[in-house]
Amino acid sequence: MAQQSSVQTGSNQNTKNQTLSRGLVLLMAISCGLVVANLYYNQPLLADIGRSFGVDAQHVGIISMLTQIGYAMGLFLFIPLGDIRERRKLIVILLIAVGFSLIGVAAAQSLAWMYAASLAVGITTVAAQIIIPLAAQLAEPHERGRIIGSVMSGLLIGILLARTVSGWVGELFGWRTMFGLAAVLMFGLAYVLRRQLPLSPPDIKLSYPGLIRSIGRLIVEQRTLREAALIGAFMFASFSVFWTSLTFFMESPSYEYGSGIAGMFGIVGVVGAAAATVIGRLADRIKPSSMVGFMIVICLLSFLSFWLIGSWIWGLIAGVILLDLGVQGSQVANQTRIYSMLPEARSRINTVFMVSVFIGGAIGSTLGGYAWSEWGWSGVCFTGGGLAFVALLIWTGHRLSGIQK
């Protein structure tokens, strides 16, 4: 067994040295962006979808919530398999599955159907979270932050541009067309990755029940993982509060714009998201935990900007840049911390972190729709800022208790 482990380790090292080219990193980044975009196409289209089914903002906001909940479920069910199954095959299977789920959304004939199909999209849109640990595995330790930052830039830009693309496609051709196009993209991406990704044999031999049980042990034993997961959850909740509510704010008397303009703010957010590569490089040199605290403060400043000057377009633009820089920067710094902990458990560590993040996103999506319905834009700003402030309290509390990672 020891000899087998040694052979496998040598094989993995050779794979690392031979296959992590700049082109492969770029392909991984683009793939992550295209895959994760499936979760966000619906946000600029919520008002249009609501009109199609004759429901208000609170009810249509559940679509975004179910997508996020489904994503958390998919992370828990499928991502741990990356530690015990060949990753390329797993990625391709998931891409095909999400393609069929997107067809279900495009064909939805009732709100209940839409809810079910959106949940299915979330459950199957998890391939990006297998690609990211794969990139971390292939990277040398001294450049892991840079590689993670590069791949995360693609993922984050995908999150933001998804809103831009879906907003314009929805305005020009209708919301169903967007989901049909997304399905075609997933089938095409499955073909490309099947040909281009390297084989990635598992690092350990473990049964699926044992794999799931080991996740609980990781949560209990790894204090840094618990802190990163909690901060990630509250930060992404604040992020989702804003983006779920933006389309309603843009259609309000303050602006009176359609879904296309709401989606255009995704382009603005790319400025912040593109900094993920720089943050990853800094995380290779500066203590990542310090970077996390700084990014939380930037997120708080974004909601202050939304509240004070969000009624002016330039104030909204400034806030979007700060929000995306703060939220995505904190996520890259946290992932740099946790991926350096236990190399043989990166997929399970990623499961804990990302399940927490997207549970936070689901809660934030729901709170965003509720805050807008009950208190308007000021309620959205205070809700999102309050969630980021809780993240700051968690970060401060762990620093005061003497945790230094």
Q: Are 66 and 119 in contact (CB under 8 A)?
A: yes
Q: How far is CA 174 from the centre of its chain?
A: 25
Q: Which of 188, 176, 202 is nearest to 108 (CA)?
A: 176
Judged on CB neighbours under 10 Å (0-12, 13-18, 19+), 209 is exposed
User: What CA–CA distance (Å, rounded) separates 388 from 233?
Assistant: 10
Q: Are 298 and 325 in contact (CB under 8 A)?
A: yes
Phi/psi of residue 127, each to 5°? -60, -35
pLDDT at 230: 95
| Residue 197: closest CA among 374, 390, 26, 379 | 26
Print pLDDT tens along the chain (405 aa): 333 333 344 444 444 444 577 888 889 999 999 999 999 888 888 888 888 887 777 788 788 888 878 888 898 888 888 888 888 899 999 999 999 999 999 998 888 899 999 999 999 999 998 998 888 778 777 777 778 778 877 887 887 788 788 888 988 898 899 999 999 999 999 999 998 888 877 767 788 888 888 898 999 999 999 999 999 999 999 999 998 888 788 887 777 676 566 666 767 767 666 666 676 667 667 777 888 999 999 999 999 999 999 888 888 888 988 998 898 889 888 988 888 888 778 888 988 998 898 789 888 988 998 899 899 999 999 999 999 999 999 999 887 776 444
d(CA 353, CA 335): 8
d(CA 289, CA 159): 24
In angstroms, the CA 243 to CA 295 distance is 18
Cα–Cα distance between 186 and 190 in angstroms, integer? 6
Rounded-to-integer distance, Cα 68 and Cα 47, Å: 18
Contacts (Cβ under 8 Å, ≥6 apart) of 52: 175
Count the neighbouring beta carbons within 10 Å of the beta carbon of residue 174.
Answer: 14
> Are 244 and 368 within 8 A, CB to CB?
yes
pLDDT at residue 263, as a whole number: 61
pLDDT of residue 158: 85
Burial of 112 (0-12, 13-18, 19+ CB in 10 A): exposed
Element (H, E) at 161: helix 144-173
